[in-house]
Amino acid sequence: MVAGPPGSMKTVMTLNAVKNMQVPTMYHSSDSDDLTMASRSLSMLTGTPTEETETWVMAQKQLAYDTLKDMDFVRWSFRSSPTLEHMEREAEAFRELKGEYPHLTVIDIMMDIDYEGAGEQNYWALMAELKDMARDQETAILVVHHTSESAKAGSPPPRSAIMGKANQLPTLILTLWGDAHAGTLDVATVKNRFGPQDAMGKRFFKMSAQPAICLIEEMDQPEPPLFRDGVSVPEDEKVNAWED
């Protein structure tokens, strides 16, 4: 799960992750339409501002088509209120076309899914359904979700800010805080079933963020890594990732 308040670059972060993984992907984009996602993808791939790539989609279609071939491992669905049945049908269509289920299934954004309990924003039952879907299709599911806006601004929200009882089942939860003016994105691992975590989100790492061209990248860290447990770290400097 990738979660954060409005404007925290959740979709841009997710889109960069999809591009970097380059595995067969089914992307359910209910929060952004096809024009928006096409222009963002073009911007990310070429380093051209989105205000310009938006015109490519409408006025330079061949250029847009040729450039977007670099993302041809992604199949898109833009239904504004998808149901679980719709997502299962899309997965079956993906398998019919590609010969296998998607390795990665992105749901952007979870609150748009049409299911019983959505009105009360109780996502417990939905998360259980998605867990079954992941097992049945052997796909990794990446969910984009909101955090409560009551969480303290200025840093990644804590795990307790995840909305609608949705934080129990995910294996990994990242919360975000983006600062477009500073060009940074703070990322906290507030849940990690198989590694270090900080539920309060106080320990985080910074990434370089250029929202105008939809680009998120690693940046040189002025401080030592958050969890120093790699083979290259001297023994007297190691931090045990399984403590705390």
How many structural domains comprise the chain?
1
Structure tokens at 210: 């250029």
- Other Cβ atoms within 10 Å of 120 Cβ, number: 8
Of the two residues 221 and 46, the one the predictor is more confident about is 46
In the three-class reduction of DSSP (H, G, I as helix; E, B as strand; rest coil), residue 217 is classed as strand
Mean pLDDT of 106-112: 95
In a domain, 90, yes or no: yes
pLDDT of residue 153: 81
Share of residues in the chain with pLDDT > 70 (%): 89
Question: Under a CB-based contact definition with an 8 Å cutoff, are residues 42 and 64 in contact?
Answer: yes
pLDDT score for 224:
47
- Arithmetic mean of pLDDT, 96-121: 88
- Amino acid sitting at position 46: T
The pair of structure tokens assigned to 43 is 């911007």
Query: SS3 of 207, please?
Result: strand
In angstroms, the CA 239 to CA 181 distance is 33
184: domain range? 2-237
Looking up residue 208, the CATH number of its domain turns out to be: 3.40.50.300
Q: How large is the average pLDDT for residues 110-122?
A: 79
* 182: helix, strand or coil: coil
Q: Indicate the DSSP class of residue 229.
A: -
Sheet holding 215-218, edge to edge: 74-77, 25-29, 104-108, 140-146, 2-4, 172-179, 184-192, 204-210, 215-218
Whether 232 has a pLDDT exceeding 50, the answer reads: yes
Q: Do the domain assignments include residue 207?
A: yes
Using N-to-C axis directions, what is the helix angle for 50-59 and 34-46, rounded to 10°?
A: 120
- Residue 244 is assigned to a structural domain of this protein: no
Q: Which bin fits 7, alpha (ψ -120 to 50), beta or left (φ > 0)?
A: left
Within-domain flag for 160: yes
Determine the Cα–Cα distance for residues 40 and 161; give it in Å rounded to an integer: 28
In a domain, 49, yes or no: yes
Per-residue pLDDT tens over the stretch 19-60 = 999 999 999 999 999 999 999 999 999 999 999 999 999 999
Mean pLDDT is lowest, of 6-15, 88-97, 212-221, for 212-221
Average pLDDT of span 14-22: 96
Computed over every residue of the chain, the mean pLDDT equals: 89
Asked if the structure places residue 138 within a domain, the reply is yes
Query: By C-alpha distance, which of 202, 166, 143 is closest to 10?
Result: 143
Q: Is residue 243 part of a domain?
A: no
For the chain, give the percent of residues with pLDDT over 90.
75
The answer to the question of residue 100 being in a domain is yes
Residue 209 in tokens = 């963020």
Assess whether pLDDT exceeds 50 at residue 107. Answer: yes
pLDDT confidence bin for 228, thresholds 50/70/90: low
Taking residues 96-100, what's their average pLDDT?
A: 96
